[in-house]
């Protein structure tokens, strides 16, 4: 039995209908045309662990599947392979496969674990290239990858990439930027507030709300009303 068959054997049509609404798969939505089998992330991960022997060529076939969970499983296999080997070939494979990493969960569950981890102590120009891409998911990969840096109390690149993406029009980018800024605030509230003070008037509302979620309520409301100078 191959990976695709193993996943399809666990398909849940009722959950699939829910996921297809949740992940915005209708015409004109960000996930237009995506097809779900109805497996949860833990279910998909458990199955992926049975196929860690797959080659990159075989993973490529799975990653190009029409089924969302098969793409997720392929990426989970990549993460597990990378964590064991730190192999640059896996990093390169990921970066050349971004057209298949085409929903927010696929990005959020993998980008920092592969791209962020690999480039934590290396030149990060690739992240700026992704941030300036015309592709929604590459931009999200850029900012989510910096989660690894944040966990190491390195905030510079998150702020710089956030500045690039503050002009973006897509809600999924606003949410990702706000989320990463909030993560900085969990580690150093003052350095986050310094950034917010300089940028909050031009920040998309969603990004601002996410970023200042943990601020004291009175201060949060002042930022939302634009009363901080």
Is the domain of 93 the same as that of 115?
no
Does one domain contain both 3 and 74? yes
Please report the pLDDT score of residue 207 as a whole number: 97
Dist. CA 174–CA 144, nearest whole Å? 12
User: Tell me, what CATH number does 118's domain have?
Assistant: 1.25.10.90
Look at residue 67 and give its three-state secondary structure: strand
Q: How many CB atoms lie within 10 A of CB 28?
A: 6
Q: Is 31 contained in some domain?
A: yes
Q: How far is CA 199 from CA 74, 92, 188, 194, 204, in A?
A: 38, 34, 17, 9, 10
214 lies in the same domain as 140:
yes
Same domain, 32 and 130: no
Are 139 and 200 members of one domain? yes
Q: Which of 98, 119, 136 is the last residue of a domain?
A: 98
Residue-wise pLDDT tens for the chain (229 aa)? 899 999 999 999 999 999 999 999 888 889 899 999 999 999 999 999 999 999 999 999 999 999 999 999 999 999 999 999 999 999 999 999 999 999 999 999 999 999 999 999 999 999 999 999 999 999 999 999 999 999 999 999 999 999 999 989 999 999 999 999 999 999 999 999 999 999 998 999 999 999 999 999 999 999 999 887 6
pLDDT at position 229 is 63
Q: Which two tokens stand for residue 162?
A: 């956030």
The owner of tokens 């709300």 is 209
pTM beyond cutoff 0.75 = yes
d(CA 20, CA 38): 9
Tell me the residue range of the domain where 47 lies.
Answer: 1-98
Last residue of a domain, one of 98, 127, 159: 98
Tokens of 214: 């943990």
Does 116 share its domain with 221?
A: yes
Residues 129 and 57 occupy one common structural domain: no
- Residue 215 has a pLDDT of 94
pLDDT at 173: 98
pLDDT for 151 equals 97
* Distinct helix (H) and strand (E) counts, the chain: 17, 0
Give the integer Cα–Cα distance in Å for 168 and 162.
10
Whether 105 is in a domain gets the answer no
Residues 59 and 21 in one domain: yes
d(CA 77, CA 36): 19
Domain count for the chain = 2
Q: Is residue 55 part of a domain?
A: yes
Biggest alpha carbon–alpha carbon distance for the chain: 62
In a domain, 62, yes or no: yes
DSSP H helices, 56-170, are: 56-63, 68-85, 88-95, 104-108, 111, 117-119, 125-131, 136-145, 147-151, 156-165
DSSP-assigned letters across all residues of 84-113: HH--HHHHHHHHTTGGG--SHHHHHTTHII
Same domain, 158 and 79: no
Structural domain contains residue 103: no
> Tokens 């290239």 sit at which residue?
129
Please state, in angstroms and rounded to a whole number, the distance separating the CA atoms of residues 212 and 218: 11
- Are residues 2 and 77 both part of a single domain? yes
Determine the pLDDT at residue 228: 76
From residue 220, alpha-carbon distances to 162, 165, 201, 224, 228 in Å are 20, 22, 13, 6, 10
Residue 227: predicted pLDDT: 82
Tell me which of 71, 98, 125 is where a domain ends.
98
* Residues 227 and 131 reside in one and the same domain: yes
192 shares a domain with 114: yes
């Amino acid at each position: 039995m191959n990976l695709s068959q193993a996943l399809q054997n666990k398909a849940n049509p009722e959950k699939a209908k829910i996921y297809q609404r949740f992940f915005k798969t209708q015409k004109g939505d960000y996930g237009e045309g995506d097809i779900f089998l109805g497996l949860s992330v833990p279910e998909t991960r458990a199955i992926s662990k049975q196929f860690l022997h797959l080659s990159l060529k075989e993973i490529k076939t799975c990653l190009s599947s029409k089924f969302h969970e098969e793409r997720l499983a392929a990426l989970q296999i990549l993460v597990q392979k990378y964590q064991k080997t730190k192999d640059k070939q896996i990093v390169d494979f990921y970066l050349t496969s971004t057209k298949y990493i085409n929903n927010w969960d696929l990005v959020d569950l993998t980008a920092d674990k592969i791209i962020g981890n690999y480039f934590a102590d290396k030149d990060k120009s690739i992240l700026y290239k992704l941030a300036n891409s015309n592709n929604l998911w590459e931009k999200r990969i850029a900012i989510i990858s910096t989660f690894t840096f944040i966990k190491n109390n390195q905030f510079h690149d998150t702020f710089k990439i956030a500045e690039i993406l503050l002009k973006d029009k897509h809600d999924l980018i606003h949410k990702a930027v706000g989320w990463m800024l909030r993560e900085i605030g969990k580690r150093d509230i003052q350095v986050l507030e310094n950034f917010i003070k300089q940028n909050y008037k031009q920040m998309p509302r969603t990004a601002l709300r996410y970023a200042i979620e943990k601020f004291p309520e009175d201060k949060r409301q002042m930022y939302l009303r634009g009363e901080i100078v």
